[in-house]
Amino acid sequence: MDLDVAAGSAVEVEDGVDAILRRDPIGAYPRMDALSRRDYRERVRMWARRSGRQAQQTAQLALDLAEQCGQRHGSGDRRAHVGYFLTDIGVRELAAALGARLNWRERLRLHSTSSLVLAYCLAVYSICAAFGIVSVWLFEIALPWYGQALLAACAALYANYIVQSWINLHLPQLLLPRRMPRLDFGDGIPAEAKTLVAIPCLLVSREGVAALARALERLHQSNPGTGVGYALLSDFVDAASERVDGDEALLQEAREQIDALNARHGGGFVLLHRPRRWNPGENLWIGWERKRGKLEELNAWLLGGPSPFQVEHGDLAKAVGSKYVVTLDEDNDDLTAGALRELAAAIAHPLNRPVLDANGTRVEAGYVVLQPRAMISLSRDSAPSRLELMIHAMIEIETSKDYRADKPAVHIDQDLFGQAAYGGKGIYDVAMFHRLTHGRIAENTILSHDVLEGGMVRAGVVSDVVLRENFVPTFHAAMRRSHRWMRGDWQLLPWLLPSVRDASGARVRNTLSLFGRWKIFHNALRMVLPIASLLCFVLGWASSAEPGLWTLNLLAIAWVPAAVGLCIGIARNLLSGSLRSVVRGVWSWLSLRSASFIFGVDQAQTAFDAAVRASFRMLVSHRKLLEWTASSVMSARRGPSLGQYLRMMWISPAFAVAVVWLIGRINPPALSSAIPFAALWACAPVVAWWWSQKPRAAHPAPPSQA
């Protein structure tokens, strides 16, 4: 236990504020962990200082307000908790009762998520539109009005992602990290908060099954004494028939691995395996609705529905009746030590429990899903590629040690909007998740379901619980994954409409939250960015009387704000790290920041292909909408050779030659601006291959994240 927390616990009994708060009408305060109780007491003392009152008087007033709400709304209502008035929406009433004024951060938190999203979008899109219009006006673009309008729109789209990066760079300096309150599950997760860890996965090979078992075991070892169950939620890979040779051998291997885990650790491990079903849209036998279907059927089973599983094996008592499920990907075993306990303790806290609106279709307060803060780290199981090493070095130069450690950190969406986009990994309330998502999504239509489900159920981030994920090792794997994500994001566009089709095929009113719709729109807009960027540069070179200044203008908005952040990172790391690591970080930062220019053609081609392919499948063929290759399958494949990269990315050097020829014919003075970019595009296949290789020299292990 942290020494400060231990010392705080020792003096709590003598603390008059603590004694008052322990009379919490809802009974939650005495059951909270020491850090959460300390946070509440510090909030009391802060309000006492601001109002000129005694701390005990302030605590008593918060208690009185909570008791009044308990009498009006019932003792189980979240408003009957003292924390509602100390850290939540009730601060407005507490401040009014104390005669104190709210600061700007507190006033910001009192605004609705919808109003904050609208204000944020208005600010960002206004800046981007102004940049596009002013740029076209300043640099004498020799195009007809509709050409100028197109170029202004492209410039605005080009600026969109960059402007949001500016905001995300500076907002953490203004916002304060907040630790999410939680209950004290130090003696284990109680029966009323029974939790199951479920890893949706594919049984691909015997070696893959063994790796899945090792991942479960590592999770168990890093979360001792929690009492949770651990389940492999598995499917077979897609096939042309319901059963293929090798299926039974894989199932037997999975059973044996689960048996071995139960024997070593005294139980707690489960295998839940689904059979293949025929899917006419894919023209294959697959697991129904892939990962989304796995979790939906698991939820229904946990709530007492019929079993969808071909095999239920292991310590099933650890799974049956679970109130919460922690879902992780098969390579997500690198979590903060004790993360499962912390996530369960957070979601069980009264202020974090979901509260539905009057119609029972939308979450007004609290969360159905809580997720850890995600960070990229180097793989522990294999030597990293140059791409992985550069990403790791760039993260170190851009972030502080505190941010990389398991401490509360500012999360822009969580701390500004009160919720975050769901990334598919986290803990969720089974009954509430099932209630809000079951039957709302038409079959064979959704590939990337996490953002959509997050908009339905409301997700939050527990920022002091960190999930460290590996980046894909090769550029080819990264682009293949991006293509899958882009197709999935594009297929969500119908959810921006006023009505959508549900699982029965009927068209119903779309009740997705504004935050969820904005995230869908944002992801689709981000897809268009590489295409808009190329058009922005090429049209500007072809039509501007000042092509050099036009190019500098576009580079300045991309590089100047980022360079400011780099300088801050250099100064911070020079004080705490070695010069060699700083130099490596700066080189990696420059390389990766240039990637959007080097691989601009390939990224634009990937985005265009994903959008066209998804649109055709959605509107015409209605086939292959669930086409997906698991990351584990992609990672197991050997990276392409240099010759294969040249064949796969031929369009990049070809586009470079075409642009130089075109600019030479239309606007020769712009060649001095176009040729450096054309050289980068021509070299893109070689750079992609080089970055994907593993350096021969041994690299030291990355420094500890703690």
Query: Longest C-alpha distance within the chain, in Å?
Result: 84
Is the Cα torsion angle 280, 283, 284, 287 positive or negative in sign?
A: negative
Q: What is the C-alpha to C-alpha distance for residues 104 and 102, in angstroms, rounded to an integer?
A: 7
Low-confidence residues of the chain, pLDDT below 50?
1-7, 9-10, 13-14, 698-706
Contact 461, 633 (CB under 8 A): no
Contact 22, 29 (CB under 8 A): yes
- Find all residues with CB under 8 Å of 519, minimum gap 6, and list them: 421, 451, 454, 455
- Find all residues with CB under 8 Å of 698, minimum gap 6, and list them: none
To the nearest whole number, what is the mean pLDDT of the chain? 91
Contact 551, 541 (CB under 8 A): yes
Taking Cα atoms as reference points, which of 522, 537, 547 lies closest to residue 155?
A: 537
Please write the tens of the pLDDT for every residue from 30-85.
Answer: 999 999 999 999 999 999 999 999 999 999 999 999 999 999 999 889 999 999 99
Q: How far is CA 302 from the centre of its chain?
A: 26
* DSSP element (H, E) containing 380: none
Q: What is the pLDDT of residue 377?
A: 84
Count CB-CB contacts under 10 A for residue 627: 17
Q: What is the C-alpha to C-alpha distance for residues 549 and 591, in angstroms, rounded to an integer?
A: 23
* DSSP element (H, E) containing 461: strand 459-470
Give the HSE-up count for residue 529: Cα atoms under 13 Å, Cβ half-sphere: 20
Phi and psi at residue 466, to the nearest 5°: -115, 135
Q: What is the pLDDT of residue 435?
A: 97
Count CB-CB contacts under 10 A for residue 308: 18
Instruction: Tell me the H-state helices in 378-449.
Output: 386-398, 401-404, 412-417, 430-437
Instruction: Tell me the H-state helices in 78-112.
Output: 82-86, 91-98, 104-110
Q: What is the pLDDT of residue 6?
A: 47
Taking Cα atoms as reference points, which of 354, 339, 552 lies closest to residue 466?
A: 339
Mapping DSSP to helix (H, G, I), strand (E, B) and coil, where does residue 259 land? helix
Task: Say if strands 363-365 and 311-314 run parallel, antiparallel, or are unpaired.
Answer: unpaired
Is the model's pTM score more than 0.85? Answer: yes
String of DSSP letters for 505-567: S-EEE----HHHHHHHHHHHHHHHHHHHHHHHHHHHHHHBS-HHHHHHHHHHHHHHHHHHHHH
Q: What is the pLDDT of residue 696?
A: 75
Radius of gyration of the chain (CA): 27
Q: For residue 341, what are its two tokens?
A: 């306990």
Count CB-CB contacts under 10 A for residue 684: 26
- Burial class of residue 642 in the structure, from the number of CB atoms within 10 Å of its CB (0-12 exposed, 13-18 middle, 19+ buried): middle
Q: Where are the domains of the chain?
A: 3-110
Is the Cα torsion angle 213, 279, 527, 505 positive or negative in sign?
A: negative
Q: Which amino acid is at 495?
A: W
